[in-house]
Structure 1
């Protein structure tokens, strides 16, 4: 009778990289990441490259520019606001001084009308007024931008830090544009400060359609 063999064979060392199980795990992780990113990539490819129904009215910013994580934002009470808190919504932003002259008032009016023109999609867009001079708007203006249901988010930001993020077109100032920021906090379009509302709305419509698969209303 042949004696039984009790030879001991070493077990595989789990610390050794490159095992089949590890390779499979890495591929699965990459596949999940790709599936999560695909809708975002597809929507931007559609808008930037394919550009359905003609070119954009506003000027596309390519590459997009991330909102700085340390952008020093404060509300009208002087409380710090985390830039990350603005993410999760499309932002239709203006840059105007607190004094808010005629041009500022017109922009606030157009800003409000544009959002309302979006109909049921307006819940995916927030209005943002960035004030670079540190002053506080007067009571009449504040009452207008604080009306229930049509509120504007009003924040102070130092001029130099704001100018390092948003850029006007040649020969223009920051106050001469609308700025469109996507739900991930990336500045991706600027439009004239006195736009043709229907044309700018058409841009917003295309953006909202292109991002419908990954962007929902609310933060």
Structure 2
């Protein structure tokens, strides 16, 4: 019994088709990765270089030593401002409170922190707006990037800086974005 082979030209086409089918996904992946780079997820806030917030000296309002290690396992919404707290500071304190409350059942995973700079004591109105936030007086400069009094920061449960939001940010967009962070990182704090 003899097996008849297709003509050489047809054999060549079959081999080239098989090689092309196998090589196409690899070629497509290189093109997509190196030529048509995907835009990726866009964040509303300014993404920061993910690195731990360096240690710095801080105390509670009653003078006891404090550090962010006490809050490991919680997402932190942190702001830095002077104890005299002007109108923009009061508005930021209110916004942080609303952002936390808007997280619903996830709000227990989110803690608010106010790093006080300077020696001024917070006013009664500022303390009322901070309602439930942790207040720490920074003894050293707070090592967070950017204009600290012009924004607030999201710090992950491992102590890494994640995002900076300007104080003029749309609270609805910030609420949605932080909700996504909490949802997508359920096992992280």
> TM-score, normalization: structure 2?
0.74
Question: Following the alignment from structure 1 to structure 2, what is the Cα–Cα distance between the partners of residues 100 and 129?
Answer: 11
- Residue pair 2:83, 2:121 contacting (<8 A) in 1 also: yes
How is 1:1-219 mapped onto 2 (pairs within 5 angstroms)? 54-62=41-49, 64-69=50-55, 71-146=56-131, 151-158=132-139, 161-162=141-142, 165-168=143-146, 173-215=147-189
User: Residues 81 and 50 of structure 1: is their aligned pair in 2 closer, same or farther, counting only changes over 3 Å?
Assistant: farther
Question: Following the alignment from structure 2 to structure 1, what is the Cα–Cα distance between the partners of residues 39 and 185?
Answer: 14
Rg larger in structure: 2
Higher alpha-carbon deviation: 132-141 or 94-103: 132-141
Q: Which runs of 5 or more residues in structure 2 are unaligned?
A: 1-37
SS at match of 1:161: coil
> TM-score, normalization: structure 1?
0.65
SS at match of 2:62: coil
Count of aligned positions: 152
- Deviation by residue 1:148-190 (Cα, 9 ceiling, x = unmatched): xxx01011113x531xx2111xxxx311111000001111110
Richer in strand (by share):
2
Question: Following the alignment from structure 1 to structure 2, what is the Cα–Cα distance between the partners of residues 145 and 87?
Answer: 20
Computed over aligned residues only, the root mean square deviation of the Cα atoms, in angstroms, reads: 1.8
Q: Which runs of 5 or more residues in structure 1 are unaligned?
A: 1-48
Question: Following the alignment from structure 2 to structure 1, what is the Cα–Cα distance between the partners of residues 92 and 183?
Answer: 24
Give the superposition deviation at 1:210.
1.5
